[in-house]
Structures are given as C-alpha cells and as structure tokens.
A and B are shown apart, each in its own frame.
Chain A
C-alpha cells in the first residue's frame, strides 16, 4: 500500500514542480483514453461513479482504517442556494467541478474550496421538475464539461472559464421533459437520459457529439409502431409511456456497450389503459455506444404500478471469471445479470418486500396478484420511494461486497383515473405512509453479490438519501438525514469517525488527492464539504 501512495505523491510532485503550482493552464485534456484508464490516476474522479464500471471505489489508501478517526474538515463551499444538492463532483488535476440547485455549475480549487468560475443557467419560470430543482453532476471530455438542465438543454461549458461552448435543446420542457442526470462521456459522445416519468413523457437516451453538440443517436425507451416491444403497450399509451432514464449508466469498453437503466411507465401508479409489460420501462438496457442500438434488455418490474424506477446505477462486477452487472433495485431485489447476454444470474431480496412471493423459471421475481393499487388503497412494501432510490451504491473489489443505502417502508397505494394533459403531472394516484405503528427504517447494507447474503448492516436513526463510497483504505463513507458524514470499516460496518455537517445528505461521496494529500468530499445542506488528515 505505501508503494502505491508513494507513486501518487511522486506524480503529483512532478506536476507541481513543473508548473510551480497548480496553475489552471496546467490542465491536461481529459481524453477518452484517460476516462478508460481512470484507475491509473486515482487522485482524480473523472466520471459520476469515479470510473466506467460504476463501482464508486477509490484506489487511494492514505486515509484508512488505522487513521480515519483523525479525519478533519478542510473546507466548505456554500452554493448560496436553497434546495437539495444531489451532485457528485468531478476532480481533474486539482480542480473540482460540480453542479448545484437551479442548474448552476462551478469549478473550485480542490485544495481550498475557493471558486474559480460559476455558471448559472437561466431557467424559465415554468419548468417542471419532479422532485426538486436538482442536478446530479457533470461529465468531462477534452476541455469541456457537460450539463443537462431542468429545461431539457444539453450544454457544453469551457472547463477553464465556464463559458458556454454549445447549448442544444433536447426536448420540450413544457411537456415535462427535463434533465437531472450527470451525463456520461464515451468516446467522442456525451450520453444523457431524460427525466419526466411524472408527466407522461416518452423516455429517451441521447448521444451528442462532444465537439459540436450535434445529436448522433437517440434511443426511445418506449418503442414506436413497428419496433420490437411496441406490442407491450395498449393502444396509444406508448406515446406517453414514460420510462425516463434519469440516472447515469456505465460503460464496458471490451464489448463497447453502454448499460443504462430506465424508470417507471406513466402514469406511475395506474396500470389501467397501458395493459402489457410496458417495455422498456424499469429495465436495464445494453446499447451499442456508437449507434445506440439495443443489444439486450432486462426488465426488473413488468407493468409497474408502484413507481419503482429501475434507475439505480448498474455496477460492472467481474467475479469468478464471470462478467456480471449488479443492481440493487428500487423494488427490493438485488439482481446479478450476465453482462454479455442479459440473462439473470440471481435475484435476492435485500429489504422488506411483500410484492412478490414467487419466481419464474428464469429466477425472476413475479408480482403477486393482489398488489395492484385500488381506489381505497392497498399496502405494499416497499413503498413508492423504494428499498433504494437514486443514491449511488459502491462495490469494493477488496472486500468483494456491494454497499447500498436501503429503507424499509411500506405505503398505501391508491389509484384513480386521470386524463393526460401535456405538461401536467400524470400519476393516476396518490400514496400514503402505511398506518402501521412501525417506523420507517434506514440502513447501509453490505451485500455479497456472489450469494445475495447481507454480510452486515448499519441501521441509521432514520432513512437517508446518501450514496456510498468505498476506498482502498478499507473504508466506506456515507451520510445521514440528520447531517452526519460517517466513515466505517468496510469489513464490519463499525463506525470509525463522524462529523456533523448541519444539513441532510442527498448525494454520494468521492475521494481524490491533491499535492499528495487524500481528501474525501460530499455535499450536505447547501454546502460542499472536504475532509482530510491533519
């Protein structure tokens, strides 16, 4: 381990000496090769999940099980805006790039938190965000960072200045289309998935030429007439079928496939009028990166009536010579899938579920008949928020465990007919917390992907929306709803350190290094917080 650290320090020292200090002009271009080989530069955090695999694992080990108790706050940056911060920052050669509420983007000196530039997108007054004026982060490629906005623009900013290089409109925000996702840069493309499952959009995943903003391909997640899967929609329901794609996917260079998850069919809690499986809602899609053509799909929840978007990060895991992809799904099952074929390897419940008691011949959980929402309401677990949600999980190749934020909560699902009106909320439903005296419970769970077994769990005081980071230092980091940032022993879940940040956590942590010093960072309340050793 010390050897690895020494190497990082020398690399940084060399760059530092060459430039005198970290002048902005020292920026190297972030090429596709650098993104592919991000493991070679663990001091940086180049994509939403840290690398293309979605593991959210850092090779840095300067902060470790032995010294985590002495972690201390290094700096705080306040965005000055209200609302949730869901962003994962990027780190490139000492500069932090992140987004904030209302589609602002900013660059900071990662050593001090001092701002370098700020971009504020001018949003119209009548945008239709579903769940807060949030954004989950940027992608970087070349000398540009890429932002998707709540009025459905895709924007390229100059990484040095925050100046707009190009700005294209992907869809009509007045019909409920928006972007909240951190895009994924692959080859020369910026890949991005749309939000709007609450408005009866027709979901899609787009790829834009990073240099020009020209759209290179679009994959509609609801097939049109004549396309395979179209028959899984009743009548014209496909036109407003939802299946948004609002969380960042992953990429496998060896097969040139993008893995991107999709969300609920619309209306989310009413199946009447859209009889059928409703492909490709609540699915994992394997798309050819160059063309956007689909190689395979796996649908987690057929004909969903409980808002169980499958938009959790699909994590690429190689285990025992098998090429797998794992997802802790909002419906309460932990799925392991063969990456080449899309065939299910295993599905095991990792939280409280009542919707499925049986599995089909391929091992897929099958919905119980009595789970559909009714006018009076019916209690189903998990509730509408799911066993997990958008909070990013992590896979630690050292412990070989998958860590995910989980919640036990049941809801009463009620449904009523609702006509579709463009740009208006389209749920066909309401849901209520179950009347049971039992409180909601929140956990961090460590799952063995090989068996589905939960190796350990940490119960929070209340459910959290924080994601999770694992590091080569033997640590996992997460946050809680009461504002704590927490370091645990990845092997056991033992709390080693915590810090009260004064605001709830809605984002996932990262690790990076500058000047040979490792930091961990996370957002809470309206601030970005960085921690390191004294």
Chain B
C-alpha cells in the first residue's frame, strides 16, 4: 500500500484528523511532534515499525497509542496503513544538508552561547531549562530557532491534554513564603493546591500554596531573549545543527 496514491490520499484525511495536531499540516512537524517528511526517522524505519509506533505509541514521549490521544477517533488497521502511505508520499528522499556546523555548534552550546548553563544534552549541562537531547529529533529547525529568538512567545510545549501526565511548561514563578523569603524560579509541577519549583541555584522546593504569603506565575520565560546581536544567525544555525545531530542518534 505504501506506494498507492489512492491510499496516500485517504491517509491525508486521516493524518489531518489524527496526527496534524502535533505533526503539523503536511507532516512538516509542529511544536510537539517531529517533521515526518524527513527520510530518517528516529523511532521507525520500516513500514512495519511505523505501524507499531502509530498503534502503540512511544512510551516516555508525547506520542500516544492509537485512539488514546483524545484528538481524533482512533484508526482501523487499514487507516493506519493509509497514513503510512501518506507519510511515505511526503518524504523528502535526499535529507537536507544541515545549514550549520554541528561541531562548532557544540562548542558554542557548552561555551560562549551559555546554553548549557540552563540546558542539558546527553547528561552534560544544567537543569533550569528543558533537557534538549531529543529536541533536534522532535522539533523542526524553525521551532528551535523561534524558541531561542522568542522564548516567551511559546513556552515549552506541554503534552496534549488527554495524555497529560506532567505538563511542564517551565513557567516563571515567584513566591514569598510565610516567613518572608522570596523564591524565583521555574514551575516543575503544579495543581490547584501545591507547586513544585526550581530556583536559579537548582534547588527544588515543594510548596503548599495556602502556606505562602504570595504566589505569582508568569509566562515571561526565564530564558533571556537571544536577539541576532547577542547570537548571530550563523551561530544559531550551528547550535541547531548540533542539536539535530544529537537528536537524530
């Protein structure tokens, strides 16, 4: 079925309903899901592997099992095969050469660009911001660049709601405790009555809201805005190339 244009067309409808929320219209990727037009995929190479991934999801990621994401209605086996046909029809056969230099990007990440002061990749770096080992495999180049240039425009993408287990968006939090101590940091987890947060020294606080003197949240990211005068387009492309090379592993 993989090369059947009719199946691919039917798959396009199914894709819009079931997949596009995260993977974007045209399978070009979105904030939540990888660009599926890449010929090299991280979790599935053969059609059979892709069928498995769509049917059962990928544990530990936002990719849910078929029919469990609350978006769309779930698919029959036939419909899953149609989606695979559609994805195959959209694949760009020759992978695009990364624009940047990944080796230099790694140096920048751990050096002058200061990324690793807040982010961790492959076990190295710090913890204030999202861990980025997988980000190059699961986000588009454009989404990564936008996150660096405009960190507050869209905070870290939480999981889709129905599969929400840990909707960590790294919102900025400022609290004043009962004894007058001010703590600033990022929210790790929160419900109506409690908040877990990390301050800039990576100290974790587990707090009950009714015991705080004040509690304020902001969607102004703790991450500084990296304009082109702080981080040139070329340096940013190199960092993106580094993240994509790690994410593809």
Which B residues are closer than 8 A to A by beta carbons? 10, 13-14, 16-18, 20-21, 25, 30, 67-68, 70, 72-76, 79, 152-155, 161-162, 164, 167, 169, 190-193, 219
Interface size class of A (residues with CB under 8 A): 35 or more
Determine if B70 and A132 form an interchain contact, defined as CB atoms under 8 angstroms apart: yes
Determine if A483 and B191 form an interchain contact, defined as CB atoms under 8 angstroms apart: yes
Other-chain residue from A129, A416, A430, A482 in contact with B74 (beta carbon distance below 8 A): A129
Given contacts A131-B73, A132-B68, A414-B25, contact A461 B79 (CB under 8 A): no
- B6 CB to nearest chain A CB (Å): 11
Q: How far is the CA of A304 from the CA of B224 in the complex (A)?
A: 43
Docked complex: A414-431 residues within 8 A CB-CB of B: 414, 416, 418, 421, 424-425, 427, 429-431
The B contact surface, by secondary structure, is loop
User: Is A432 located at the chain interface by the 8 A CB criterion?
Assistant: yes
Docked complex: A432-463 residues within 8 A CB-CB of B: 432-433, 435, 437-439, 460-463
- B76 CB to nearest chain A CB (Å): 6
Determine if B13 and A480 form an interchain contact, defined as CB atoms under 8 angstroms apart: no
Q: How far is the CA of A414 from the CA of B70 in the complex (A)?
A: 18
- B78 CB to nearest chain A CB (Å): 9
Determine if B192 and A480 form an interchain contact, defined as CB atoms under 8 angstroms apart: yes
Determine if B192 and A198 form an interchain contact, defined as CB atoms under 8 angstroms apart: no
Given contacts A126-B76, A482-B191, contact A131 B70 (CB under 8 A): yes
- Chain B residues near A437 (CB, 8 Å)? 152-155, 219
Q: How far is the CA of A414 from the CA of B30 in the complex (A)?
A: 15
Determine if A425 and B153 form an interchain contact, defined as CB atoms under 8 angstroms apart: no
User: Is A468 located at the chain interface by the 8 A CB criterion?
Assistant: no
- A134 CB to nearest chain B CB (Å): 11
Other-chain residue from A83, A128, A498 in contact with B73 (beta carbon distance below 8 A): A128
CB closest residue in chain A, given B221: A437
A selection of 11 A-B contacts at a CB cut-off of 8 Å is A130-B73, A416-B13, A425-B14, A425-B17, A432-B21, A437-B152, A437-B153, A437-B154, A461-B192, A482-B190, A500-B191
- Chain A residues near B72 (CB, 8 Å)? 425
Q: How far is the CA of A429 from the CA of B68 in the complex (A)?
A: 19
- Chain A residues near B73 (CB, 8 Å)? 128-131, 198-199, 425
Other-chain residue from A126, A132, A498, A504 in contact with B164 (beta carbon distance below 8 A): A504
- B39 CB to nearest chain A CB (Å): 24
New contact pairs (5) apart from A131-B73, A424-B76, CB-CB < 8 Å:
A129-B73, A129-B74, A131-B70, A484-B192, A495-B192
Determine if A416 and B153 form an interchain contact, defined as CB atoms under 8 angstroms apart: no
Given contacts A83-B68, A131-B70, contact A424 B79 (CB under 8 A): yes
User: Is A486 located at the chain interface by the 8 A CB criterion?
Assistant: yes
